[in-house]
Amino acid sequence: MDFLFTKEQEEFREKVIALLNTAEIQEKRKMIKKANLDSDPREIYRILGEQGLLAPNFPSEFGGLNKTLIEAAILVEEMSNSGIPEALHVLTSLIIGNVILLSATKSQKEKYLPQLADGSKNACILYSEPKHGSDLSSLESRAYNNEDLGTYSIFGRKVYSMKTHISDYGLIAVRTSEKQSKYDGLSLFMVPLNSEGVTISEIPSLSDESLYEVILDGVVVDNTCMIGKENDGWSVINKALSVERTGLDYFVRAKRWFDLIYTREINNIPTESTLIELSRLRCKLDASRYLTYKVINEFNRLGAVDESLSAISKLYASELACEVVWKGHELRGVEACLKDNHGYSELYGSLESAYREAPGLTLSAGTSEMMLETISKLRLTI
């Protein structure tokens, strides 16, 4: 292991834990869990934002604490441990916020980052399309440059986005020109989702967290909404994918589901072999955790993520999440997984819900097959 938390980072963790376990936040957590399966945690985010904790890696001038992505990851980990929905936060601050930090102009940073840091605005990712899924080189959505007006008109259809219904912006990838390479000619825009011409519809999903379709029919945005340079969106997207594929979002789910299984089973383990299997899973979780933080630490040091290492981390964490859930169902049985008499579902969710969600983790942010292809190209040599 070549990663250790510093004293300051451990102190930051303790501060986060103390705030997340206050009566005010825990009461709000219980209320949003009861209100809707597809939880809306924005009230909690605003409390974190008031304390400057929602985006700790942002510069202080934009509402952060001048810390690193390590602290941002610690926040996500502890939110999950406390039963607070973290998906919208990961999309808004950890992924899109860092894309803006890395690729936006100063005026764009001044516009967007304070809103994301205080929890008043949230954002989602609009990449995938019906015919092409995660193959961003084949995007068909288009943005047409209205040069005389200083605006773009966007047309297209995006699918399988998360938390779109409670997001204020969508970071959208579109084609702005036809280049010889399909990876050229792409551009990114921050689109206000309340714009005229935006239609958002829910897509039926097995998961408790809904997926959404977004249709953009001539949505007009000014040229200041473009993140990065025109036709150079692929380089910006790669930065976003690097942060998205650290494995963090997948590890915290695997850990949450393991806690649900282990807490229930620890006083009722029938055999020594079962205890050994659970111990092996715990070791795998430790490996996933340190691999995730290694990827993030590399990003802090170099300003970029090792693409093959992030692919390994994402692959390992998402497949491990599935393994954890399957073991839970093997131990508990289907009927037991549908019931909850211990109060754990209210905090962590249920194994039945996890069973429906887990397979999707091996698809989002790039399928396991795509991760294996990346690893084979960059790590395996003849």
> What is the rounded average pLDDT of the residues 330-349?
57
* 206 and 174 inside one domain: yes
Q: Could you tell me which residues come within 8 angstroms of residue 344 by beta carbon, excluding any fewer than 6 positions away?
A: 260, 263, 264
Last residue of a domain, one of 103, 121, 139: 121
Q: What is the CATH number of the domain that holds 27?
A: 1.10.540.10
In a domain, 11, yes or no: yes
* 193 and 74 inside one domain: no
> Between residues 122 and 273, which one has the greater pLDDT?
122
Q: What per-residue confidence (pLDDT) applies to 34?
A: 72
* 301 and 340 inside one domain: yes
Is pLDDT of 268 > 80?
A: no
pLDDT band (50, 70, 90) for residue 253: very high
* 257 and 368 inside one domain: yes
* 114 and 131 inside one domain: no
> What is the rounded average pLDDT of the residues 255-278?
75
Q: Which residues of 45-83 are buried (b: 16+ CB within 10 A; e: fewer)?
A: bebbbeebbbbbbbeeebbbbebbbbbbbbbbbbbbbbb
Q: Which of 138-142, 176-180, 318-322 has the lowest mean pLDDT?
A: 176-180
> CA 175 to CA 186: how far, in whole Å?
4
pLDDT cut 70: percent of the chain above it: 90
Is pLDDT of 3 > 70?
A: no
Segment 165-218, tens digit of pLDDT: 999 999 999 999 887 677 789 999 999 999 999 999 999 888 778 899 999 999
Question: Residue 33: which H helix or E strand, with range?
Answer: helix 23-35
> CA 139 to CA 127: how far, in whole Å?
8
* 309 and 184 inside one domain: no
Full DSSP string of 174-199: EE-S--SSTTSSEEEEEEETTSTTEE
Segment 279-308, tens digit of pLDDT: 899 999 999 999 999 989 888 877 777 888
Q: What per-residue confidence (pLDDT) applies to 365?
A: 77
Q: What is the CATH number of the domain that holds 159?
A: 2.40.110.10
Q: What per-residue confidence (pLDDT) applies to 260?
A: 81
Segment 358-378, tens digit of pLDDT: 988 998 878 899 889 988 988
Q: What per-residue confidence (pLDDT) applies to 210?
A: 86
* 88 and 201 inside one domain: no
In a domain, 28, yes or no: yes
> What is the rounded average pLDDT of the residues 31-37?
70
Q: Do the Cβ atoms of 203 and 213 come closer than 8 Å?
A: yes
Segment 47-101, tens digit of pLDDT: 999 989 999 999 999 999 999 999 999 999 999 998 898 999 999 999 999 999 9
> Between residues 38 and 94, which one has the greater pLDDT?
94
Indicate the average pLDDT of the chain: 87
Last residue of a domain, one of 76, 94, 121: 121
For 78-148, strand residue ranges (E) read 123-126, 142-146
> What is the rounded average pLDDT of the residues 143-152?
93
Nearest to 70 by CA among 281, 287, 330, 298: 298
Nearest to 241 by CA among 378, 127, 375, 74: 127
Residue-level length of the chain: 382
* 220 and 305 inside one domain: no
In a domain, 92, yes or no: yes
* 110 and 130 inside one domain: no
Residues spanned by the domain of 190:
125-232
335 three-state secondary structure: helix
Q: What is the CATH number of the domain that holds 372?
A: 1.20.140.10
In a domain, 237, yes or no: no
At residue 327, φ and ψ (nearest 5 deg) are -65, -40
Last residue of a domain, one of 91, 121, 151: 121
Is pLDDT of 247 > 80?
A: yes
In a domain, 52, yes or no: yes
